[in-house]
Structure 1
Amino acid sequence: MLEGNASCPDCRLPLEARHSLAAVLIFTIVVDILGNVLVILSVLRNRKLRNAGNIFVVSLSVADLVVAVYPYPLILSAIFHNRWTMGPIHCKISGFFMGLSVIGSIFNITAIAINRYCYICHSLRYDRLFSLKNTCCCLCLTWLLTLVAILPNLFVDSLQYDPRVYSCTFAQTASMSYTVTVVVVHFLIPLSIVTFCYLRIWILVIQVKHRVRQECKQKVRAADVRNFLTMFVVFVLFAVCWGPLNFIGLAVAINPSKIIPQIPEWLFVMSYFMAYFNSCLNAVIYGLLNQNFRKEYKRILLALWTPRLLFVDLSKGGTEGVKSKPSPAATNNNNQAEIYL
């Protein structure tokens, strides 16, 4: 049995609170697995969804699935036993995969934002920038950076069991300078990049709406509302779910002796489980708010009644591979306002 974080050696939540945390985590695991498996199957089955942008969506789903199949069940076990029972090796492995998933998710969300920015704001060069080869290289780079970002935890010894959240996770008090670096590199820089990309896209869409012909205005309005609502929800929920935990970590790193006693335990616990909950939201956002994914979800669920249809592509039209660009005529009218997700 692990003793836990030195800053909180005897933290134990009431039974009712533990039941609430367990319920949230069980819901997160179920929705995480179901939603992300649906996203992956949708892209595999439907030719219309096999494009460069959705390669990163599948990668994001894989990152979210990692925590649902290993670290979260171990956390659930710790909640039920009111202590860590899996030993130190599983603790380190669980913390490593937790970090791998978290950083991988953040970096993939950033890659998706960059991809959307290039597709809308640099449409003439998009096919060259995100060819199949370049997209695969970008994907490999995303995961290479993720691995590089998580490896220092093994040398700083920052992956520790925290009894307040029943998790083997990043200890904010392990190294103050390292904690600041983690918050900046893993949260603030990606947040800034995503903000820049979506802000530039939004500005361009507003400009296009004012330029298009009168008969195209309704179509453009539907396109930008549908797609930018999805992007905005992704961005806001990413910031909302991860913001509290990162800002608490930053505050603790700057002045631990003053800040740590002032942080209520319920706020600390809530910030962690808000972050955990984000892993089941991405599949819902990128899936259910997109018409093509939503239709494919329905087809897959219906195909469960006839398993032989499960891996049959029932989509109409579309081509396999990287999404081709619109014709020049469509580009002149409103291709920049009609964004795919």
Structure 2
Amino acid sequence: LNIIWIIGKNKKVKYIGNIFVVSLSVADLVVALYPYPLALVAVFHNGWTMGSLHCQLSGFVMGLSVIGSVFNITAIAINRYCYICHSLRYDRLYSRRNTCLYLLLTWMLTALAIVPNFLVGSLKYDPRVFSCTFTQTASSSYTICVVLIHFLVPLGVVSFCYLRIWTLVIRVKGRVRPNPKRVADLRNFLTMFVVFVLFAVCWAPLNFIGLAVAVNPATVAPNVPEWLFVTSYFMAYFNSCLNAVVYGLLNQNFRQEYKQILRALCTPRALFTESSRYNTEAIKSKHSPAGTNNNQIKVNSALH
């Protein structure tokens, strides 16, 4: 929620590409509004007491959050790749209209990816995690498709994008004189790269368990230790809490905003003071998405 507030308020981070960061924050937030409270109720009652409708809805919302996060991280990587590696065409590729269409497409694919769960009947209550979630043993072929489409393919796309970016950064290192905007661009890239790495690390165990179960469900499923499944499950969903921490640690603008929010919580009047100050700064200096591409043009020029 803080990320959405900061991007909407601070002109320094309010540019069109960050709409995918806002979308990722929404995906992370959704799971905390409905499935998690129901899971807490299940913990207190030592079982599911909310009925099958809430079970299906909870599983659907949880899937919406998880797959939405995966696809938004992929969209962010593609955006960063185009911004840094194809800067001359970036403004045309990511005009305001096109970016909104890309965002809409991201969430349409997310919703489409969840629908098969209802056909297969894979959204069920799992007493090990006190949640209605995807059941890995519902269908071997479907579980393999889930791991492939929801994890391995996005992982491959994101890895390709960031590998190309790193390659370009290393090639032009020392050729292009550093400037504040270029340093800021590289820090933003580093932030999103760390978000991706944490995502891969947190989600890999659960997906590999699912893949192993799908390959040989009769043998593997009964032999998966409960502690291993529970640890991998909560490790995966804990990833939603890490993104905001990464933004605060690696991005100076977000870090400053976090400090201001904490001060505002202690002294509410500070919130209105800081808002007035940023409105004044916004009038004096507006951030232009096209302007941030000037250094990238230099990067491309240095390569030719």
Asked if TM exceeds 0.5, the reply is: yes
Instruction: Return the structure number with greater helix share.
Output: 2
Change (3 A) 1:255 1:44: same
For 1:266 and 1:283, locate their aligned partners in 2 and report how far apart those are by CA, in whole Å.
27
For 1:139 and 1:82, locate their aligned partners in 2 and report how far apart those are by CA, in whole Å.
39
Equivalent residues of 2:85, 2:300 under 8 A apart: no
Equivalent residues of 1:56, 1:108 under 8 A apart: yes
2:207 counterpart of 1:246: yes
Letter matched to residue 208 of structure 2: F
For 1:99 and 1:235, locate their aligned partners in 2 and report how far apart those are by CA, in whole Å.
19
Q: Which residue of structure 1 lines up, in the alignment, with residue 243 of structure 2?
A: 282
Residue by residue over 1:48-89, the C-alpha shift from the partner in whole angstroms, topping out at 9 and shown as x without a partner, is 222122101111111111111110111122122221121211
Q: Which residue of structure 1 lines up, in the alignment, with residue 39 of structure 2?
A: 75
Matches within 5 A, 1:134-153: 134-153=98-117
Equivalent residues of 1:202, 1:228 under 8 A apart: no
Percent identity, aligned pairs only?
66
Residue by residue over 1:251-284, the C-alpha shift from the partner in whole angstroms, topping out at 9 and shown as x without a partner, is 1011111211321110011111001101111222
Q: Tell me how large the CA RMSD over aligned residues is.
A: 2.5
Letter matched to residue 248 of structure 1: I
Equivalent residues of 1:56, 1:139 under 8 A apart: yes
Q: Which residue of structure 1 lines up, in the alignment, with residue 263 of structure 2?
A: 302
Question: Of 199, 210, 216, which aligns to 1:255?
Answer: 216
Equivalent residues of 2:137, 2:221 under 8 A apart: no
Equivalent residues of 2:83, 2:293 under 8 A apart: no
Question: Of 283, 289, 292, which aligns to 1:323?
Answer: 289
| Structure 1 unmatched ranges of 5 or more | 1-36
**What SS does the corresponding residue of 2:289 show, helix, strand or coil?**
coil
Change (3 A) 1:281 1:336: farther
Equivalent residues of 2:143, 2:214 under 8 A apart: yes
For 1:133 and 1:193, locate their aligned partners in 2 and report how far apart those are by CA, in whole Å.
24
Residue by residue over 1:289-313, the C-alpha shift from the partner in whole angstroms, topping out at 9 and shown as x without a partner, is 2111222222333344215447546
Q: Which residue of structure 2 lines up, in the alignment, with residue 44 of structure 1?
A: 8
Q: How many residue pairs align between the two structures?
A: 296
2:140 counterpart of 1:173: no
Equivalent residues of 2:88, 2:297 under 8 A apart: no
TM score, norm. by length of structure 2: 0.89
Q: Which residue of structure 2 lines up, in the alignment, with residue 20 of structure 1?
A: none
Higher relative contact order (CA 8 A, sep 6+): 1
Q: Which residue of structure 1 lines up, in the alignment, with residue 71 of structure 2?
A: 107
